[in-house]
Amino acid sequence: MADEATDCSTKEQIALYVRYFNRQQGEVCEEFLGYREASSTTGQALAETFLEALDEYGINIDQMRGQGYDGAANMAGVHRGVQARIRERVPLALYTHCRAHSCKETIVRNMMDTVQTAAFAFDYSAKRLLNFEECLANDDEARMAMNRKTKLKTLCETRWFSRVDALNTFLKCFAVVVESLEELGGDGDSKARGYALSIKQYLMEIES
């Protein structure tokens, strides 16, 4: 499994992982191998970099039975993508599209939408943000969990690690979010009331 991204110095870095069956433990394991700098992001260049790295780590390429990347053309292309180039070398290495980029579970999508909507609701309104900060100041447990943060984080469409941070932040101050939205709704903010109802509806869905 691999993915590439541009780092802060504008270099293309490739993160490489392997998933394998550990016979001694009797379970599937996953290990991070390391990073490789990419001289080019074409399917051919990336495939060569992947195979060279696996060889350097002493991994028997001929035993590869799967490969997983995102859906970008240079990765998933059926003719010139990485997966196609790899299969020219290892025909049994079947390609699987990254599930994180193709999740169709309604409950997961609803959850993501709810978190994003709530973050935007507070981020783009000074009145709502002030109310949120006041509610947070009155909740010692949430305030400590937030570790000096005073705002929710919005979800990034492409950086999945940032989504983890946004979801963790939302979880830590969940009670504060609901309390603030309900207070705002009670003061006549119809949108805030709707957001609070949306969150409660989601909780009812997962509980059922």
With helix as H, strand as E and coil as C, how does 63-103 read?
HCCEEEECCCHHHHCCCCCHHHHHHHHCCCCEEEECHHHCC
Q: Which two tokens stand for residue 27?
A: 């379970």
Record the pTM: 0.53
How far apart CA 131 and CA 139 sit, in angstroms, is: 13
What does the chain come to in residues? Answer: 208
**Confidence at 185, pLDDT banded by 50, 70, 90:** very high
pLDDT digits (tens, 9 = 90+) for 11-49: 888 889 999 999 999 999 999 999 998 888 898 999 999
pLDDT digits (tens, 9 = 90+) for 117-156: 889 999 889 999 999 999 999 999 999 998 888 889 887 7
Nearest alpha carbon to residue 11 among 39, 45, 49, 34: 39
For the chain, domain boundaries: 2-101, 106-207
H-type alpha helices, the chain: 43-56, 73-76, 82-89, 106-123, 126-137, 140-146, 160-172, 174-186, 190-207
Query: Residue 12: CB partners within 8 Å, gap ≥ 6?
Result: 4, 5, 6, 37, 38, 41
pLDDT digits (tens, 9 = 90+) for 5-18: 777 777 888 889 99
Q: In terms of DSSP bridges, do strands 12-22 and 27-37 run parallel, antiparallel, or are they unpaired?
A: antiparallel
